[in-house]
Amino acid sequence: MALFNPKVFLTLTEGKLEGTEIKQSYKYLNALAGVFKNETARAEMDQDALIYEVQAYMPVEEGKSGGLFFGNSTIYPGKVDQEYFMTRGHFHSNFDTAEYYWGVKGEGYLILMDENRKIWAEKMTPGSVHYIPGKVAHRVANTGSEPLVFNACWPSDAGHDYESIAEHGFSARLLEVDGEPKLVEE
């Protein structure tokens, strides 16, 4: 029998993953063309601005049934016109698969849209736990003045369908209206 040290660590106060098996990706404003309502305003901003970053621990092959992935996302504060910085959003390719998110730092909203385009949002704060059912698209927006950090756990066979959102968008946008976040129908 052998004893092993963990390959991955989670810093609980920061929500960050550390270890050699962590995959890291970065989304800059130049990669988010068509995501925000005011494309002209987005195009006039610093295209090298880091909007969000994602860490993922994927200990099994993507698409393998029965496995789980664990991740961390950080969305930086800011807006394109009145619209808060946010993730692109997606459905799962395996349409029925669910996911968990939980807040670590900062504040924002988890924006959810079902297959019939009914939309709602849940406030994310440190310690908030969010169950995302299957057949529901999801994205997160940072409404605060500091980075919004959250962790996630999802099935290894969930997949990501970004194309449906790129083509049809969400049925509402989270905008700052009179100094407060508000879902505004498209």
pLDDT digits (tens, 9 = 90+) for 22-39: 999 999 999 999 999 999
For range 49-63, the mean pLDDT: 97
Query: Which amino acid is present at 166?
Result: A
Q: Is the separation of the CB atoms in 110 and 140 below 8 Å?
A: yes
Query: Which amino acid is present at 22?
Result: I
pLDDT digits (tens, 9 = 90+) for 157-180: 999 999 999 999 999 999 999 999
pLDDT digits (tens, 9 = 90+) for 61-102: 999 999 999 999 999 999 999 999 999 999 999 999 999 999
pTM of the full structure: 0.96
Binned at pLDDT 50, 70 and 90, residue 186 comes out as: confident
- In angstroms, the CA 135 to CA 118 distance is 12
Q: Is 15's pLDDT higher than 90?
A: yes
Name the residue among 79, 81, 25, 95 with its Cα closest to residue 53: 25
pLDDT digits (tens, 9 = 90+) for 98-136: 999 999 999 999 999 999 999 999 999 999 999 999 999
User: What domains are defined for the chain?
Assistant: 9-185 (2.60.120.10)
What rounded mean pLDDT belongs to the chain?
A: 97
What pLDDT is recorded for position 123? 98
